[in-house]
């Protein structure tokens, strides 16, 4: 007969500071002004959002700024219905992989402005290829939540 061992539930918190550096600081400051900034690589000409300090493809420093479109195309999405530790929003919520017009990478953010209570209804409103537009929060804090969500355009 094998012995059953008891378990206990415990919580670990890990407060930390993350240095944003000049690129992300300017990106977040832009959100406060309802602008989405990307940085453009002088070598490969790609525009990255959120703004980055170096090109992930050719490792060039990025110092050319671009106020990019607030509209884009939904590449993929998921509906979150389960609660778990660390969520910043209460389910249900949808996350989308968004390709902002004129940029060269995808951007993850919330999809909203639609009924998210039922997967079938969500599937009727969004799919890969759906056009979306940023919806701004009235209160800005120079963080990613200054954009409340991206709303499908139809």
Q: Give residues in contact with Zn ion (CB under 5 A).
A: 41, 43-44, 55, 57-58
Of 66 and 70, CB closest to Zn ion: 66
Give me the phi and psi of 31, to 5 degrees please: -60, -35
List Cβ neighbours of 81 (8 Å cut-off, separation of 6 or more): 91, 92, 119
DSSP H helices in 74-129: 119-125
**Minimum separation from the CB atom of position 93 to Zn ion (A):** 33
**Residue 76 host element (H or E):** strand 71-80
Of 52 and 99, CB closest to Zn ion: 52
Of 40 and 109, CB closest to Zn ion: 40
**Minimum separation from the CB atom of position 57 to Zn ion (A):** 5
**By CB neighbour count within 10 A (0-12 exposed, 13-18 middle, 19+ buried), where does 107 fall?**
buried
Of 57 and 64, CB closest to Zn ion: 57
**Minimum separation from the CB atom of position 59 to Zn ion (A):** 8
3-class DSSP state for residue 130?
A: coil
**Minimum separation from the CB atom of position 35 to Zn ion (A):** 22
């Amino acid at each position: 007969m094998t012995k059953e061992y008891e378990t206990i539930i415990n919580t670990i918190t890990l407060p930390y500071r993350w240095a944003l550096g000049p690129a992300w600081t300017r990106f977040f400051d832009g959100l406060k002004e309802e602008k989405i900034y990307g940085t453009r690589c002088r070598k490969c000409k790609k525009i990255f959002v959120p703004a980055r300090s170096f090109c992930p493809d050719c490792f060039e420093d990025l110092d050319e700024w671009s106020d990019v479109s607030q509209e884009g195309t939904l590449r993929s999405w998921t509906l979150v219905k389960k609660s778990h530790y660390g969520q910043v929003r209460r389910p249900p919520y949808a996350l989308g992989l968004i390709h902002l017009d004129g940029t060269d990478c995808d951007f993850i953010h919330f999809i909203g402005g639609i009924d998210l209570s039922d997967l079938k209804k969500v599937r009727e409103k969004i799919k890969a290829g759906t056009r979306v537009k940023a919806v701004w929060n009235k209160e800005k804090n120079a963080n990613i939540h200054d954009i409340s969500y991206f709303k499908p355009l139809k």
